[in-house]
């Protein structure tokens, strides 16, 4: 009964993490701002950390069921 929500939440975390990492990488590669009004030295690592954390949560959710 709990497999459905676990799979759904894992997919949401995995898709969000992958999209955030891809978007951040593309923006950083083109030297475009990642977040408006934030220095790139702070925005890029924070976005990468958030994306990696989201991927880790997605993997954790898949391992839990």
Query: Alpha-carbon distance 49 to 46, whole Å?
Result: 5
Residue 34 token pair? 């990642």
57, HSE (Cβ side, Cα atoms, 13 Å) = 16
- Specify the pLDDT at position 64: 79
- Secondary structure of 13-50 in HEC code, one letter for each residue: HHHHHHHHHHHHHHHHHCCCCCCCCCCHHHHHHHHHHH
What percent of the chain is modeled with pLDDT above 70?
98
pLDDT computed for residue 65 by the predictor: 74
Q: What is the pLDDT of residue 29?
A: 94
pLDDT for 1: 53
In this prediction, residue 59 carries a pLDDT of: 96
For the segment 41-53, the average pLDDT, to the nearest whole number, is 96
């Amino acid at each position: 009964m709990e497999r459905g929500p676990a799979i759904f939440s894992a997919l949401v975390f995995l898709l969000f993490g992958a999209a955030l990492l891809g978007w951040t990488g593309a923006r950083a590669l083109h030297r475009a701002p990642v977040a408006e009004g934030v220095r790139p030295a702070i925005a890029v690592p924070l976005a990468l950390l958030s994306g990696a954390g989201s991927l880790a949560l997605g993997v954790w959710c898949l391992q839990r069921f």
